[in-house]
Amino acid sequence: MTSKALFRHCVGRRVFKGNLAFMWALLAVLVPTAIRLSVDGQVSGVAVTPYLPFIVLSAVTLAWWQAGLVALASALIGDALFIGVPNRILEGPSDLFAVGAFLVAAGLIIAVVQVVREMMADGHRGGINGEVTNGIIFSLRDGEAWASWKTDPWAVRLGPQEEVAAMMEDFLAQIKVAERLNGDPGLMI
């Protein structure tokens, strides 16, 4: 699978549902907490930073609201364990700023992923305002034939122009033979 295909597969639709989504959300909070605990006492000033990559992964693999819950849980646990007095939440200005900045960053990450997901879904539903558009668009680039669809922004390489042209001519000839054999009354022999 190409990186574009993987991106379309992951971002284009929610990957995890049901119990699998719950398990991922739990891991998305526990794993960065364990990572941060492992460096506690050696590293300071990065209380909630280890959670950010897991917010990105959650935004890609979960529904937006599930990713939002992961962000909220991460912020509260990060604050309780790594900011200010242990086991106290939002007790001072440092907590408020760190948690607020983290939640804004997490919200922006989730929103961007959601916008991309919706744009991709709109492309698969049709053109502007969801109207159905059909047809293949053939194009040439550097002697190579390409096909794309109005509903999909990515093109598919078909091969060298000469080979593709010969295959298309053969395809059209096969259609004409099939129409003659099926007795299409609209076809004059």
Choose among 28, 11, 118: nearest CA to 72: 28
Q: Residue 7 has what pLDDT?
A: 61
- Which of residues 2 and 77 earns the better pLDDT score? 77
Beta-bridged to residue 43, according to DSSP, are: 40
Cα 32 to Cα 47: distance, rounded to the nearest angstrom: 10
pLDDT of 145 over the 70 cut: yes
Answer with the residue of higher pLDDT: 98 or 151.
Answer: 98
Q: Note the pTM of the prediction, 2 decimals.
A: 0.60
Query: Is pLDDT at 182 greater than 70 in this prediction?
Result: yes
pLDDT in tens, 104-123: 999 999 999 998 888 776 65
Sign of torsion, CA 39 40 42 44?
positive
What does each C-alpha distance from 149 to 125, 126, 129, 171 come to in angstroms? 12, 10, 17, 19
Instruction: Taking residues 145-162, report their average pLDDT.
Output: 81
- Average pLDDT for residues 18-32, to the nearest whole number? 93
